[in-house]
Amino acid sequence: MSSLGNLSEKVGSLVSRGTDFLKKYIFGPNNERLDFVMDSFYKLSPNQQTGLLLGGVAGLLILVFGAFGFYFSRVSALEKDLDDSFAALQRLRSQAQVFEYEKKRYRELKNIISRASTGFRPKPFFEAKSNQVGVSLTDLRSTDADIPSDSPLSQDFKNISVEFRLPKVSIPRLLKFLGELEKSGKNLNIHSLQIRTRYGDRLFFETNAKVLGYKVGRSG
């Protein structure tokens, strides 16, 4: 208890010395500055005293209203910042929902392509389709290639490129063959198609085609 009492006395002494210092700094030793101000005020004429008092009151009011104006302006700015923050948070939550939805769709796409490309071998598949439709297929070449890095698919997929030639095919059978490829469920799309007439033959044509597909994984 004695230690606590000593500490309290020391703190009280420090506060008292600080208060005395401020009084001397503002009013001067023995209130000399305050006495000087009061003497100067009483030496003024009544009109000057009234004007000085009114000016002081006006200055005080300006100071008070200025402080209130600054306070309310800061409160208004803070409210605007809070509103903007809540709006940004709402947009972020909305974007997070969109991201999760698109992420789910991407996983579904990956699963679809994975199922379609599992065990897929281009040469036997294309030869079987050509026999099914009744067209002659030659010069079949298939390669795997990375998708360009600027595509979002490049991280998880790669292209399957299949090129072939139909040396003698009618337009109806060509369309049927290409349709069978695209609706096969192997995610194949016609990338390029060149049809040339055969000399002296108006019913059959020579065709070169390139078909692109997708598979999960990256080459190399």
Averaged pLDDT, 43-60? 70
pLDDT digits 0-9 by tens, 10-45: 656 665 666 666 566 555 666 666 566 566 656 667
Q: How confident is the model at residue 219 (pLDDT cuts 50, 70, 90)?
A: very low
Mean pLDDT is highest, among 70-74, 106-110, 184-188, 192-196, for 192-196
Whether residue 190 is predicted with pLDDT greater than 80 in this model: the reply is yes
Whether residue 220 is predicted with pLDDT greater than 50 in this model: the reply is no
pLDDT digits 0-9 by tens, 121-148: 999 999 999 999 999 999 999 998 888 8
Averaged pLDDT, 199-205? 85
Q: What is the pLDDT of residue 174?
A: 93
Cβ atoms of 142 and 123 closer than 8 Å: yes
Q: How confident is the model at residue 80 (pLDDT cuts 50, 70, 90)?
A: confident
